[in-house]
Structure 1
């Protein structure tokens, strides 16, 4: 360590806010220099600069499905469950002559369970969308 002088810490260097100074001009010519920050336009859609920039909206969707993606996504979610996948495999094997039971007795309960669960998820998603629309 050198034997140089220590610089004295000035509060004006720590807190560069210069709100009370008379040198602030209305034309914002000091922006970008030390002690000044940028100008932000909040919720001013009429502003020219806000029109130039294509800001992203703040839309948030809490729903899981859309009308176009309900069937594929719901089926994917149903067969991710191990029990449903097991009964799907057992139902498809029931179509072979090796199965001791008929294919209808294996597939119908699976269709009923998956259908009821899909209807339940659809109603929940629709109610979630209705709550979001009310806000």
Structure 2
């Protein structure tokens, strides 16, 4: 019981710190151009329990999208997009996503699930996914 309270306090502290440190990143309402000239859509931070419930994952995810219209579509379907991401992340074990190979597989899975959620083809929707933060504890 005491350990559960400590985890809850730690998790809440992590969420508050993340919100304070990254709050300005979510101020933009429109997909903006990245340095490479493509469009991006930023998702609010995710904190999920991993499949075994003994670890949790905190991730900040940015999507590279094929057009500003797809960025708008991501925003319009944000509850469905977030659900798809949460279901993917929470179904993973810590060991599956700790190394680069596991993260690359996760990126491909997320890209496919998000494109399906917004009814876009893989080459005309979300093109790539970037982890701005990825912490397993």
**TM-score range with shorter-chain normalisation?**
under 0.3
Output the TM-score relative to the length of structure 2. Answer: 0.25
Which structure has the bigger radius of gyration? Answer: 1
Q: Which has the higher contact order (CA 8 A, sep 6+)?
A: 2
> Where is the strand percentage greater, Structure 1 or Structure 2?
2
